Homo-oligomer: A and B are copies of this chain.
């Protein structure tokens, strides 16, 4: 049997976690169970997997805690409609000092997104790079219009997220394309920024200029230039939130 989990070093893991790993494989690798599907009844599944019902029950609890399975009492155990998707993947909600968290967030983005620009310069298609420049120009126009008192349907946070997400996708990295949007989706960012209302105009001007500059370096496939432009963009945001 060609089970990708066979080779895993799981000797140190309790039995229930090993069974959870197998079940996970049936869902995510073998696609035997789809989102919303009901699992076979506990007895048959335990027999099929060659494990005790007690261990299987423990494994199911692990996957319920992880958001992969859902138990509907009296009905059965189902694969979640959105397996593994969560609200606050990094547990930022548990950080004590939210002001520090905001600085650390920009610092972390400075590190990751600057270097990621070299992946974009190397991997993106020509059309993607033209699309990025077009997006930066259109969004810059929206910011200018908003500052001239014409904020129709304008949400800076959405617009900012849209540009950075387009960059994340343009890395053509399955990992960057998932990790960066997870960082950008951070709902507490909105709450934290909301505590600095005086900043919004500064940040919008910063985005207007920097996004266009980043897009232009990328269009010339100048990864080092785009890296520096992103670094400058994040450093400005970082200094804005850290200024007393």
Contacts of A179 in B (CB 8 A): 90, 108, 179, 183
- A229, CB-defined interface residue at 8 Å: no
Contacts of A95 in B (CB 8 A): 174, 178
> Residues 89-130 of chain A: 1 if any B CB is under 8 Å from the residue's CB, otherwise 0?
111111101101100110110011001100100000000000
Q: Give the distance in Å from the alpha carbon of A188 to the alpha carbon of B7 in the complex.
A: 12
The listed residue with most B CB atoms (<10 A of its CB), out of A86, A156, A182, is A86
When C-beta atoms are compared, the residue in chain B nearest to A200 turns out to be: B9
How many interface residues does A have (CB within 8 Å)? 71
Q: Is the CB of B66 within 8 A of A86?
A: yes
Report, nearest first, the 7 A-B pairs whose CB atoms are least far apart. Answer: A7-B194, A66-B87, A89-B89, A84-B88, A28-B93, A12-B155, A86-B86
Q: Give the distance in Å from the alpha carbon of A195 to the alpha carbon of B7 in the complex.
A: 6
Contacts of A9 in B (CB 8 A): 155-157, 190, 193-194
- A4, CB-defined interface residue at 8 Å: yes
Contacts of A12 in B (CB 8 A): 153, 155, 158
* 15 additional contacts (CB under 8 A) given A24-B87, A105-B175: A4-B194, A7-B191, A9-B193, A12-B155, A21-B187, A21-B190, A28-B94, A28-B188, A68-B88, A89-B182, A91-B178, A100-B174, A104-B176, A108-B179, A111-B116
Q: How near does chain B come to A130, taking the closest CB pair, in angstroms?
A: 24
Give the residues from 166 to 212 in chain A that come closer than 8 angstroms, CB to CB, to chain B: 173-176, 178-179, 182-183, 187-188, 190-195, 197
- A29, CB-defined interface residue at 8 Å: yes
Contacts of A178 in B (CB 8 A): 90-92, 95
Task: Choose one: B85, B105, B175; the contact of A107 (CB below 8 Å).
Answer: B175
Known contacts A158-B12, A187-B24; is-contact A175 B90 (Cβ 8 Å) = yes
When C-beta atoms are compared, the residue in chain B nearest to A86 turns out to be: B86
Q: Is the CB of A66 within 8 A of B83?
A: no
Known contacts A87-B63, A87-B83; is-contact A4 B98 (Cβ 8 Å) = yes
> Residues 137-161 of chain A: 1 if any B CB is under 8 Å from the residue's CB, otherwise 0?
0000000000000000101111000
